[in-house]
A and B are shown apart, each in its own frame.
Chain A
Amino acid sequence: MVATGRLLYHNFRLLHRVSCWIRDRFTATGLLILSCIVAAGIFGIDTRASLAYQIFSITFSLILISFLSSLFFRARLKCKRDLPEYGTVFLPLKYRVTIENFDNKPHTDLLYTDILESKFPSYKAFRSTYDPADKNRNWFDRKIGYPKLMSMLQRNRGASISWSAVDEIPAKDEKEFTIECIPTRRGYLRFTHSRIARPDPFGLFLSLKNQKNPEKLLILPKTYRVPHINLMGHRKYQQGGLNQASLVGDSQEFMSLRDYQPGDPLRSIHWRSYAKRGEPVVKEYKDEFFVRHGLVLDTFITGQTSNQFEEAVSLAASFSLSIEDQDSLLDLLFIGNEAHHFTTGRGFGKSSNLLEILACVTPSPDPDFHNLTNLIEKSLSEFSVLILILLDWDEQRQEMVKRFFSINIPVVVFVVKETATRLDPGTLCDHPERLIPLVTDNIQDTLDSINWSELNGQ
């Protein structure tokens, strides 16, 4: 069975190469003629039974002449990309490309595309990866696995950049045009080559010119709309001291007004605003006391799907953007190859830095909750609120959450699941509203339906 699987895998690899070669080199009409060759070749195998062999001869000769004439493509062209700083998953990404013509003649009917690095999945990855799209595929495709392999390859590549037609490039001049593609995963898109194609006189076969043009572009995770999480957490003394307090918190220098949070001194209440709004409003001063959010991302995906993990990352990215506006700090903690702890907020990195980190976070196949717990506990005393984004709600995770609860830190737990299942609050039995299950297919709907006021204890 393993041997059959390996054989299939290697055949798929070969098939993919052949298919790439064909798709790269044939125009749409060329592909139709190629299909005619195959069909006429099958029906014309017996030259006495039908005249299909004559169609085979005609189409084959046309392709052959096209192929031979494509060998004479001489052009001195230089391509330059103008990439944006970031892209976002599943949002159209536009960038400009300039082709410079050094020849003394104009070039017309050209096509352009960018080649992205795409590592072919290993056999082990092919066998072990679950593709969520499989549920929409038929039995044969699921069993054989070729569509899954192509889907993995597409994910590795990160985006599909199709050919773009280039109008005439005048002699000794340049032409600028825009390319649009849709990134399909976060992380870096690695451009390796710029490719220019020229059709043959029949318009069937493309002669290609590849120009090395390595560049990379970071694709940020997608984000959801999440409101401001303001749990009944207390402001904590931050070790940054006055240096930090000049940027965050409430020092003696008035900064602004904000909503009352439990623990704010009564002297800080701005009575005039309180009278006007009916709700307590406090004056904010620069001080070494301020709110600090801990955002913990569970990267242990054993038994879970990559889709689940992607949604968890997206959720983390959403919170990091949401908290940016607050007068607080945000700490992102997760275990990758090693323990990671990043802080953003005034005086630290921007939330965009956090997004960059989240764009590159990878799942960790070996669950190491001990290490994660230690990492969190090191800074636990500084956190006002702890937001945990988990991939499961098993005993180990419950135990971890129990430890944080025991030291009286407000905790909210998001559990991202592939399918809707009812979760037992377990250690969160006193605050079942703090355990929020999310299903990958409708995370936004679930987030919209949460009563955040109740969650914030207001």
Chain B
Amino acid sequence: MDNKLLNLPPAPPFTIAAGLVLWGWQTGFLIFAIPMIILIESSYWIKWRWPVNHKEFNLISDFSGVGFFIVVVYIFSTVGSRGIFVILSVMPFILFLLLLVQLYSEQGKVNLSSLFVSLRKLDPKITPEAASKIDISLTYLAVCIISASAGNNRTIWFYILSFLLLSVVLWFFRPRRYNITIWAGLLTLAFMASYATQEGLRDIQSNMEASIIGMFDQFMWRLRDPDRATTAIGSIRRLKRSDRIVVRVNSEQGINTPLYLREASYDHYNYGIWNNEAPIYSVIDQGLDGSWSLDPGEPQGTINITSYMPREIGVIPVPHSVNRIKDIAALEINTNQYGAVRMEMREGWINFNADFSKQTFGSTPGENDLDVPPPYRNDFDRLANELGLYSKTPEESLAAITRFFTENFTYTLDQRRRYPPGKFLQNFLFNTRTGHCEYFATSTVLLLRTLGIPARYAVGYVVDEYSDMEDSHVARSRDAHSWALAYVNNEWQVVETTPSVWAFYEDSNASLFEPFMDIYSWLSYRYALFQAQDELEQEETNYNLLYLLIPLITILIWRLFFNQKIKRQNVPHKLRSIRDKQGVDSVFYALIDKFKQAGYAPRDGETLVRWMRRINENGEFPKLEEALSLHYRYRFDPATDHKQIQNDLSRLVNAVPDRGIVPVSDQPLNA
């Protein structure tokens, strides 16, 4: 019995035509779809049929199969692995002949054995499928819809039309025992469920990717390619990095934070990837005193850095102005012209001292340091014009760019919206104005280059946290950062345009298990030191600690939860030591207090810039914006002359008239 529940019914009239239109529209084959539609739909009016026997069906099926094979080989050999979607998009062509023969055959159906060669030799008595026949028109319609999806023409209409098409098919084949209301109600439910599902699937993919990157980051964070960095620009997800401590820094002279430790710099950007096109590595000769001199400059100080080598060879984080590496039994140290320092030693934790001078380490600019890739030129040219940067000196441009980003942009680790490839930076600059450090650093570098200022993209860590437990400064995996380097006044300068809130933002992502991870990290680090005893005599490690792990852990937990010794240094809490915080003595804070006392409290989530702008809405404090800019430089720019800035800042703050700060309560109600 030919029941529509048991055997595939023929596709309802005009549904194949609709499917082919959908396919043609999505994949750009509409011009081919039209004659195909005419031939297929004509079969409803043309009554002429062709006698096609079993063997001829087999022949046509085999012909389609061979055609499919040739298409697969050709597309994979020309397009590569992404050719799978090209193959998907041409499937209606491949099956078209078979459908056409079926429609115009007297038989009206295709033998199942024509489609599956394995059934051809089987005895129909024992394997009834070998003799069964099917109508492939509905299958062809399904193929058209799935093939249409390969066009990836992202519009909501594809979803709506696909759903409508399938609904029409279901309407024709619906069992008559149900009334239309139930059917329509369930269909509406299916529409809502499918819409939610497809939205959910996109989110699941984003979250999974983020998790996988997080896991990758967890285990592979130490691997840094000095010649290539893939950014997360354009990725739709929430970035998440681990809380693992990856760098420890100590210095007898004290450390001005934030301290930028560079791992690598890059000079060429394209579609989310920074790389060095022609890196040249030169081996550093070891001096008689066992040190490696990178730069002949006079050392200004020394810092002790502990980092982890994932392999025998890897880049090490060093200050920008490093000029000598010492106190480490490395096999070889080499550097490239972009300032990356690569060390060959052994796997595991390493500890070394780095002398630094005033001069930033790295070669003088080349042609690539001024190159803005063609897809981005117009955008950055437009931005430079809008900001009036072409008429400014390099120093003024640096200040204006920094101000532009810090005042008009917000920091986020979430990227939810989708844009066409190559348009991510455009949308960042002109539409969303939100992003993470890679957006800021990349945009800054390309903007500087547009102005003719040589610039590079630098990656590494920002050390901004002090751990009482370890009695040293630490940087975690999530403190990985990127910034711009600008060649101004014959030296490379750090240009930090990422809003300062980024560190707070990163901290907000700290795991609940971070304290435990810190203990584990510290213990593993101490154990590593114990193993490398011959190299670390100066550490004066108390090895007995290793035999007292259990009571130690107990004590540490007690300290952690009851004494709360571990605190974030960059969170404005009382336990933070003043000596470790650059710029906390800024006189601008006094002005902030004055505003607060006058009742100008910042709103929840309001940045300092926005707060000040709101206060100065009527232009009552003309010097306020300039003072804020100086305050930021004093607070976050490690390369500036702090005394000079403090003096200038004091002058500007004092210029703000006390009388102008009218208490909110004294202001007229209509103000």
Query: What residues make up the interface of A, taking CB atoms closer than 8 Å to B?
Result: 27-29, 32-33, 35-36, 39-40, 43-44, 46-62, 64-65, 69, 90, 107-109, 111, 133, 136-138, 141, 147, 151, 154, 160, 162-165, 182, 184, 198-204, 206
Contacts and interface: CB of A to CB of B under 8 A. Distances in A.
Given A32-B142, A203-B170, A61 B6 contact: no
B158 A137 contact: no
A365 B191 CA distance: 61
Interface stretch (B120-128, B451-459, B654-662): B120-128
A264 B148 CA distance: 88
B6 A162 contact: yes
B197 interface: yes
Contacts of A202: 170, 174, 183, 186-187, 190
Interface string B473-510: 00000000000000000000000000000000000000
A111 B5 contact: yes
Given A39-B146, A65-B193, A138-B117, 14 more contacts: A27-B4, A27-B5, A28-B7, A43-B146, A50-B85, A53-B202, A55-B146, A61-B190, A64-B193, A107-B177, A160-B128, A163-B3, A200-B175, A201-B186
B652 interface: no
A58 B6 contact: no
A57 B201 contact: yes
B150 A28 contact: no
B321 interface: no
B198 interface: yes
Contact of A203 (B138, B139, B148, B175): B175
Contacts of A182: 125, 128
B521 interface: no
Contacts of B189: 65
B128 A51 contact: no
A165 B173 contact: no
- Which of A64, A182, A199, A202 has the most chain B CB atoms inside 10 A of its CB? A202
A144 to B, nearest CB: 12
Interface stretch (B159-167, B259-267, B397-405, B524-532): B159-167
Nearest to A163: B6
Contact of A133 (B3, B85, B123, B151): B123
B166 A32 contact: no
Given A28-B5, A35-B142, A90-B125, A62 B149 contact: no
Given A47-B205, A50-B152, A108-B177, A165 B198 contact: no
A28 B173 CA distance: 11
21 contacts: A28-B5, A29-B138, A43-B84, A47-B202, A51-B26, A51-B152, A53-B202, A54-B162, A55-B162, A58-B159, A60-B197, A108-B177, A109-B176, A133-B122, A136-B123, A137-B118, A151-B127, A162-B6, A162-B128, A203-B5, A203-B173
Nearest to B8: A28
Contacts of B9: 28-29
Nearest to A180: B1
Contacts of A163: 3, 5-6
B198 A53 contact: yes
A88 to B, nearest CB: 13
Nearest to A89: B125
B170 A55 contact: no
B186 A69 contact: yes
A300 B503 CA distance: 85
A50 B162 contact: no
Interface of B: 1, 3-9, 26, 82, 84-85, 88, 117-118, 121-123, 125-128, 138-139, 142, 145-146, 148-154, 158-159, 162-163, 166, 169-170, 173-178, 182-183, 186-187, 189-191, 193-195, 197-198, 201-202, 205
B192 to A, nearest CB: 8
A51 B4 contact: no
A182 B127 CA distance: 11
B48 to A, nearest CB: 28
Given A57-B195, A111-B6, A137 B173 contact: no
B159 A201 contact: no
B198 A57 contact: yes
A197 to B, nearest CB: 8
B159 to A, nearest CB: 5
- Which of B6, B7, B177 has the most chain A CB atoms inside 10 A of its CB? B177
Given A54-B159, A65-B193, A137-B118, A29 B173 contact: yes
Contact of A165 (B1, B145, B191): B1
A36 B5 contact: no
B606 to A, nearest CB: 36
Nearest to A106: B177
A54 B198 contact: yes
A62 B202 contact: no
A203 B174 contact: yes
A56 B162 contact: no
A184 B190 contact: no
- Which of B139, B150, B178, B187 has the most chain A CB atoms inside 10 A of its CB? B178
Contact of B149 (A27, A55, A151): A55
A58 B8 contact: no
Nearest to B139: A32
A87 B398 CA distance: 96
Contacts of A111: 3, 5-6
Contacts of A198: 177
A154 B124 CA distance: 13
A201 B182 contact: yes
Contacts of A39: 146
A163 B82 CA distance: 43
A120 B120 CA distance: 26
Nearest to B2: A165
Given A32-B139, A51-B151, A199-B175, A57 B125 contact: no
Contact of B194 (A44, A49, A60, A133): A60
Nearest to A164: B1
